[in-house]
Amino acid sequence: MTRWTHDADLSTANPMKAEATTGRRPGGRGAGLTREQIVQAAITLMDGEGVDALTVRGLARALDVESAALYWHFASKDDICRAVVEEISAQIRVETSARGTPRKRLEQHLAAIRAHWRRHPSALELSRRFPPSVARDVARAGMDLLVALGIPPDDALDRYRVLSWSVTGFVIVEQNLARSVHHTPAGTTGTRWVLAIEGSEGAPSEFDSDELFHTTIGLLLDGMLASNS
């Protein structure tokens, strides 16, 4: 509802030197808040109680300050959310083992990205409203693997974009499953689902999202290699 311009308001916030200027110890009341503390508290709150629990008032309570205090460090709640998503997405690590075929390593690379977002479902939810910037080193690593696979370097960026979008989209759809009235979880892995059929005919179909992910990526890579030869 209230619209604010990104850059302008950000510059009003002074991030770093709270502790140096106030000289109060962190953690207590009047503790010299920092942006980092606020983001960290937001993540803990969000991971613990879900994204709906991430309110300005609740966050302030967790930090033992008044809610208005947060507005000195951040321009708005949206600004906080953006920082949270940026922080989580910066934590993506895709160290793939140097051994194995390029294809296997690329599959691991993409699986690692999916796994990261599955570990942070609340951040994934926030990422819809506040899309993060792609970590550059992650993209670089993925493109290198594509080249190692035999993709012409000029096509690598385009191909990686396809893969990246597919993974992101997949994880989002996968997360939505938990909210779906038509899907119910099955088994203990957290990846098996049964799809309720409303009509009378046909058995309820069951599937595993792990397998679905694997075949999706497999088909894309097969397609890339087929059209490349």
Partner DNA sequence: ACCTGAACACCGTTCAAGT
Residues in the site for DNA, rule: CB under 7 A?
2, 4, 14, 17-18, 21-22, 29-33, 54-58, 65-69, 71-73, 76-78
Q: Which tokens hold the place of 128?
A: 């819809």
User: 30 vs 153, which CB is nearer to DNA?
Assistant: 30
The one-letter code for the residue type at 16 is M
Angle, helices 153-177/121-129, rounded to nearest 10 degrees = 110
Question: What is the nearest approach in angstroms of a second copy to the Cβ of residue 18?
Answer: 26
User: 66 vs 206, which CB is nearer to DNA?
Assistant: 66
Q: Quick one: what does residue 18 bind among DNA, a second copy, none, with the CB cut-off 5 to 8 Å set by partner type? A: DNA
Query: How many alpha carbons lie under 13 Å from residue 62 in its C-beta half-sphere?
Result: 20
Question: What is the nearest approach in angstroms of DNA to the Cβ of residue 10?
Answer: 13
Q: Which residues form the interface with a second copy (CB under 8 A)?
A: 1, 6, 52, 82, 125, 127-131, 133-134, 136, 157-158, 161-162, 165-166, 168-170, 172-173, 176-177, 179-183, 198-199, 205, 207, 212, 215-216, 218-227
Question: What is the nearest approach in angstroms of a second copy to the Cβ of residue 191?
Answer: 14
User: 15 vs 131, which CB is nearer to a second copy?
Assistant: 131
Q: Quick one: what does residue 227 bind among DNA, a second copy, none, with the CB cut-off 5 to 8 Å set by partner type? A: a second copy
Q: Quick one: what does residue 98 bind among a second copy, DNA, none, with the CB cut-off 5 to 8 Å set by partner type? A: none
Q: How far is CA 38 from CA 75, 125, 130, 160, in A?
A: 13, 19, 17, 34
User: 26 vs 152, which CB is nearer to DNA?
Assistant: 26
User: 83 vs 146, which CB is nearer to DNA?
Assistant: 83
Q: Quick one: what does residue 170 bind among DNA, a second copy, none, with the CB cut-off 5 to 8 Å set by partner type? A: a second copy
Q: Quick one: what does residue 119 bind among DNA, a second copy, none, with the CB cut-off 5 to 8 Å set by partner type? A: none
